[in-house]
C-alpha cells in the first residue's frame, strides 16, 4: 500500500454533506429530508446561524429571506455567516426574486427561484456528492 492510499478513506467512509435549511415554513411543516449523501437539519429561524454554521461545519446552507416576525432576515444572517468565516455554499430560497437578490448581495452563492424546488435541488446535490464518493 502506498502512503497516498493509506490517507484516502474508503468510499463507504466518505462522510455525507452537512446541510442546513433555515426556513420557518419548512420547519413549521415538519419537513424531514432523508436523502442519500446528505445529512439535512432544518431550523425555524436563523438568529444564531452564524455560530451554528461555523460550529457545526455545514457544507451547504439554504437561507430563506423572511424567517418569522421579530426574527433576523436571511439577508442579515447571510452577511453575519460570511463575516464569521463561513466558506461553504449558501443558497437563497425565497420565492421573491428581490429577496433572493438581497441574500445574494449579502454573500449567497446561488438562489432557487422557488422553495418548491428545494427537495429536487437536495436530491441532485446528494446524487452528485455520492458520485464523487
Task: Please tell me the distance from the alpha carbon of residue 100 to that of residue 92, in angstroms, as a whole number.
Answer: 5
- Could you tell me the residue range of the domain that residue 46 belongs to? 14-132
The mean pLDDT values, 10 residues at a time, for the chain of 133 residues are: 52 81 93 94 94 90 94 96 95 94 97 87 93 76
Confidence at residue 84, expressed as pLDDT on a 0 to 100 scale: 94
Confidence at residue 115, expressed as pLDDT on a 0 to 100 scale: 80
Instruction: Look up residue 93 and give its three cell numbers.
Output: 430560497
Total domains, the chain? 1
Q: Flag whether 66 is in a domain.
A: yes
Confidence at residue 114, expressed as pLDDT on a 0 to 100 scale: 79
Confidence at residue 133, expressed as pLDDT on a 0 to 100 scale: 61
Domain of 98, CATH number, reads 3.40.50.2300
Q: Flag whether 88 is in a domain.
A: yes
φ/ψ of 43, rounded to 5, equals -120, 140
Longest dimension (CA), the chain: 58
CA proximity to 21, closest of 69, 59, 55, 71: 59
Amino acid at each position: 500500500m502506498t502512503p497516498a492510499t493509506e490517507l484516502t478513506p474508503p468510499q463507504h467512509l466518505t462522510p455525507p454533506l452537512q446541510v442546513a435549511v433555515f426556513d420557518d415554513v419548512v420547519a413549521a411543516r415538519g419537513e424531514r429530508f432523508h436523502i442519500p449523501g446528505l445529512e439535512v437539519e432544518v431550523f425555524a429561524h436563523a438568529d444564531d446561524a452564524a455560530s451554528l454554521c461555523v460550529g457545526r461545519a455545514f457544507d451547504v446552507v439554504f437561507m430563506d429571506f423572511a424567517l418569522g416576525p421579530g426574527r433576523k432576515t436571511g439577508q442579515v444572517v447571510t452577511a453575519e455567516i460570511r463575516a464569521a468565516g463561513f466558506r461553504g455554499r449558501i443558497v437563497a430560497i425565497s420565492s421573491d426574486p428581490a429577496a433572493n437578490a438581497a441574500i445574494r448581495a449579502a454573500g449567497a452563492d446561488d438562489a432557487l427561484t422557488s422553495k418548491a424546488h428545494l427537495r429536487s435541488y437536495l436530491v441532485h446535490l446528494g446524487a452528485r456528492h455520492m458520485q464523487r464518493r
